[in-house]
Amino acid sequence: MSRPFGLSVSATIGLALVCSFIVLAVFGPMFAPFSPTQIDLGNRLAEPSSTHWFGTDENGIDVLSAMLSGARVALIISGLVTFISASLGTFLGLAAGYFKGAVDEFLMRIVDILLAFPRILLNIAIVALVAKPGVGTLIVALAANGWVGYARLVRGQVLSTAELEYVAAAKSLGASHLRIMLRHILPNIFPIIVVQMSLAFGTVIIVEASLSFLGLGPQLSYTWGALLDQGRTFMWMGHRLALIPGVAIMIVVLGTNLLGDGLRDRFDPKN
């Protein structure tokens, strides 16, 4: 049986997991049986049933509905952070690798400074500046240092690509710097950027869930990190409330890693 895009079996599984997550995040809340904030104190901590497939939490909120709404939040945050980080990092990496000299030194020193700080601590510091952080605040916090990996990766690729014959030919024909970077260099390194984005997507989900678990994420009770924190409180009654969001995070991150590894093998010219 043929596999999509010539991917390996593991990468195909990863693609299926990621696509399933996206479909559930986009359409799941529309078909959720209950509101993710609908409290039913008379049905607290109910076990899974035909009415509540994943049971209810300590406030009687349907866990399945909360998980589907949390998936949408995770998709929005991870998607936007990955896109913003990749766009900014690619632009700065292109500039650093192409122009070299003072531009390269200035941008790479900024990268070195940001890499000197543990990523999660810098994210916490930025979020802590806001009294009630929302989705927008978290996106800014995660993108603030999320671009540095892309910038360093793209810079290294540009330094080698800029010396190839077709780039020299474009320069000799009088092509502008912007045209050379966007029309000749970027398309050749774009597959590597896609691989980095697929791997980073899962990382952002973990960081977002970690901040929500610590109470520093969006002030929403149904983010996966918040649900994991709520489940931890009731571990003494059973592992269900903590296990469900934990397994969901694990599956999505596993899917992005499998897909990223598969794309890296697919685009590797040695294979």
pLDDT at 155 (0 to 100): 93
In whole angstroms, what is the distance from residue 90 CA to residue 153 CA? 8
56: phi then psi, degrees, rounded to nearest 5 = -130, 165
Structure tokens at 134: 């929302």
pLDDT at 42 (0 to 100): 82
Tell me the one-letter amino acid at 86: A
In whole angstroms, what is the distance from residue 99 CA to residue 103 CA? 6
What residues form DSSP beta bridges with 62?
56
The pTM (predicted TM-score) of the whole model is 0.90
What residues form DSSP beta bridges with 56?
62
Place of tokens 């510091």: 125
Set out the domains of the chain in order of their start, with CATH numbers.
Answer: 16-28+61-267 (1.10.3720.10)
Nearest to 70 by CA among 212, 224, 221: 224
Q: Digits of tens for pLDDT over the chain (271 positions)?
A: 456 666 788 889 999 999 999 999 999 999 888 888 888 888 888 888 888 899 888 888 999 999 999 999 999 999 999 999 999 999 999 999 988 889 999 999 999 998 888 888 888 888 888 877 888 889 999 999 999 999 999 999 998 887 778 788 888 888 888 888 888 889 888 999 999 999 999 999 999 999 998 888 888 888 999 999 888 887 777 788 889 999 999 999 999 999 998 888 887 655 5
CB 127 within 8 A of CB 140: no
Nearest to 205 by CA among 147, 260, 249: 249
Chain-centre distance of CA 11, in angstroms? 17
